[in-house]
A and B are shown apart, each in its own frame.
Chain A
Amino acid sequence: MSNEGIATTQPQPDYLAARGFRSWAFTHDHKRIGVMYLITTHFFFLVGGVIAMALRLKLLSPGPALFSDHAYNVLFTLHGAMMIFLFIIPAIPSSLGNFFIPLLIGARDVAFPRLNLYSYWIFVVGVVVTVASLLRPIDTGWTFYTPYSAQSSSAVTALSLGLFLVGLSSILTGLNFIVTIHTMRAPGMSWYRMPLFIWGMYATSVIQVLATPVIGITFVLLIAERVFGVGFFDPAKGGDPLLFQHFFWFYSHPVVYVMILPAMGIISEVIPVFARKPIFGYKAIAYSALAIAFIGFLVWGHHMFVSGMSTPAAVIFSFLTFFVAVPTGIKIFNWIATLYRGSISLDSPMLYALTFIFLFIIGGLTGLFLGSLATDVHVTDTYFLVAHFHYTMMGGTIMGLFAGLHYWFPKITGRMLHEGWAKQAWWLIVTGFNVTFFPMFILGMQGMPRRFSQYPEKYQPLNIVATVGSWFLFLGILIMFANFVRSLRSGARAPDNPWQGLTLEWSVPSPPPVENFEEIPTVTDWPYGYGSRSRSGRDE
């Protein structure tokens, strides 16, 4: 991708130059807002992680230990709710998406910079309300199923309100990105010249705008149920608890694609750069993102196979669940085809990208076990499910996030990461992750149910393995964060383009200037012309 516009390299202040609280709190700069999201969401990643460690520690023993059964219920609810709503949903879109969408499409900012700032502060208010609800900690599980959530004396109302605000922030961010991608692309950047991260973010934003309002109204109805005694979900009043589950999953299934599609976008950026090859199947990857977003709206019923559902509906949902795996498979085959005969360099971003592919294949295929009606009856609500979604969410989304963080750290901070530390952390994370979660597949197959603080003694050996694994995983993550902090202070100065990437963010200084581009570049090619087989002039 050429950028003839940049002729002069007059030093302009970088976006981190301004100091002081107000320069951050009232900034309209998408990069600073992205960094604020990055820090806020990762704080909850650590809190949720510490809670997970406590849960795993308790599970060393099959009997009562450490804390009460009620405390266990509260802690797994907190772990789930924090990780899902405060970390993993906003983690990539709001932070890396905010930072890099304008840079990758050659724009100076998002379409509505002020709205972007409001979105952040709505998010913060939502987070504060959510955290305040911890005064009466909830024990419903992160799924808030009625009728228990309508009756529980814990602070479900406050939490629903907090999450409603977090959702509003998510909607406004998605809306901002859709308009940005439609209207702010640099001259010459046609849809088929967009980096694939942008395609992924576009599909993500569509889901955010169309699915999040449904969880919004669900929370409103749940609040109405508790405050006004409306009986929509209460069988005693003629209501239907299953209706709540339908509503909940109509959002909460598509939202797993809000989590995974941006990660897939990152993988599509990292793999061609570190394989030094043009991405294979550009259009297939781009359209499969949209296909996932679309089909993803039609599969929510697979969360409810054992809740009660007519056989024809269950068969249709099962079929559609298999169907949504197809575009995901297309992406994975294309990434592998990109790797084929590439000159691969195993820097830390690439290690995480490869880890993503490996773990996500396991996570995705085990999803099909759960999507099949007969096997689902056996493994539903067991540790098999826990293992499956940790392989997709942590093995998928979070590995994609880590790949993105290692890939873009030099651009965001202007400092290089310590590669040795990064690799140490990677070893621990990958090993720890598999040792933690793979035994859970077996435990689930053996019938160990999730969400119980005590369990029969025959499950103890594998639980010990999982808990020991979680220590390595946690240590690895701590080393990774230590590397971030250390490199921020004393890392080597990052060049503009440390990985020889061709996307536009690498054409500007690290860290980027306030206005991103001295002059808006004119785009003449797609951004994947690596190696000898560059396809110049490729277009629709």
Chain B
Amino acid sequence: MHKGAPVPARLGIWAFLATELLLFGGLFTVYVVFRLEYPELFHREHLKLDRVMGALNTVLLLTSSLTMAVGIAAIRRGRQWVLQISLLLTLALAAGFLGIKYLEWSGDFRHGLFPESNLFFGLYFMMTGLHGLHVVLGMLVMVWLLRRARRGDFSDQYNTPVEVTGLYWHFVDLVWIYLFPLLYLIG
């Protein structure tokens, strides 16, 4: 068996991700209900989203999952420097994601698109908002990880927090992989 997180922490994060799945599951349910009820509305409104921005964000977030995975693989081999660089890169990519999200949202607001505009944009803002909140939380945890990494807390023997954060980050990435086609690529 490879040197991973000890069983309690790993079981704990999986249970937590199950909770997260049900949390987002509520929003996805709302999405299914209203898309079935108002297919034309969803098609018409989704054209107002910027696919290029959305696609760019998908690339950024997928890449950040890669850098996170590289960091975990590195610290399992005891490579402190690689972990720190990976965490910095992941943070930078996440910040880029949020930056683009900010541009998109402010563009929407300029065009008079708000959560109360219609059901599609209500969902769009709720889903990307909740997801964005998870990105911010992930970044806060990564800043904390980075500080600990610079103190040399992690090694090939002990890297539980890194691995657990990595699982969380992949989950945040996964949610976006569903959000992108469901919101940007309807028809």
Contacts and interface: CB of A to CB of B under 8 A. Distances in A.
Contacts of A176: 12
A217 B118 contact: no
Interface core residue of A184, A210, A230 (most chain B CB under 10 Å): A230
Interface in B1-15: 7-8, 11-12, 15
A43 B29 CA distance: 37
B125 to A, nearest CB: 7
Interface stretch (B16-24, B72-80, B136-144, B168-176): B16-24
B81 interface: no
A175 B16 contact: yes
B30 interface: yes
A204 interface: no
A174 B114 CA distance: 37
Contacts of A230: 115-116, 122, 125-126
Contacts of B52: none
A230 B37 CA distance: 17
B152 interface: no
B119 A237 contact: yes
Interface stretch (A221-229, A303-311, A507-515): A221-229
A203 to B, nearest CB: 14
Contact of B12 (A112, A217, A247): A112
Given A210-B18, A221-B26, A247-B26, A183 B118 contact: no
B33 A182 contact: no
Contacts of A183: 7-8, 11
B130 interface: yes
A14 interface: no
B19 A213 contact: yes
Contacts of B29: 247
Nearest to B19: A213
B5 to A, nearest CB: 12
B7 to A, nearest CB: 5
B122 A175 contact: no
Contacts, number: 95
B171 to A, nearest CB: 13
Contacts of B37: 238, 240
A232 interface: yes
Interface in B120-179: 122-123, 125-126, 130
A111 interface: yes
A243 B33 contact: yes
A209 B15 contact: yes
A216 B8 contact: no
Contacts of A174: 15
Interface string A323-356: 0000000000000000000000000000000000
A218 interface: yes
A230 B115 CA distance: 6
B43 to A, nearest CB: 15
B26 A224 contact: no
B55 interface: no
B115 A228 contact: yes
A111 B12 contact: yes
Contact of B19 (A209, A237, A239): A209
B122 A224 contact: yes
A178 B11 contact: yes
B9 to A, nearest CB: 8
Given A111-B12, A238-B38, A216 B122 contact: no
A361 interface: no
Nearest to A205: B15
A228 B105 CA distance: 15
Nearest to A210: B22
B16 to A, nearest CB: 6
A179 interface: yes
B115 A229 contact: yes
Contacts of B119: 231-232, 237-239
A179 B23 contact: no
B130 A214 contact: no
Contacts of B30: 221, 232, 243
Contacts of A216: 23
B126 A213 contact: no
A221 B19 CA distance: 17
Given A228-B125, A229-B116, A238-B38, A178 B33 contact: no
Nearest to B21: A213
B185 interface: no
Contacts of A171: 19
Contact of B115 (A184, A211, A220, A224): A224
Given A183-B8, A214-B22, A231-B119, A175 B15 contact: yes
Interface of B: 7-8, 11-12, 15-16, 18-20, 22-27, 29-30, 33-34, 37-38, 41, 114-116, 118-119, 122-123, 125-126, 130
Given A175-B19, A182-B11, A218-B26, 4 more contacts: A112-B12, A176-B12, A213-B26, A230-B126
14 contacts: A175-B12, A178-B11, A213-B25, A214-B22, A216-B23, A220-B130, A221-B126, A224-B122, A229-B114, A229-B116, A237-B119, A238-B41, A243-B30, A247-B26
Closest 8 A/B residue pairs (Cβ) = A229-B116, A217-B26, A230-B122, A213-B23, A213-B22, A228-B115, A111-B8, A175-B15
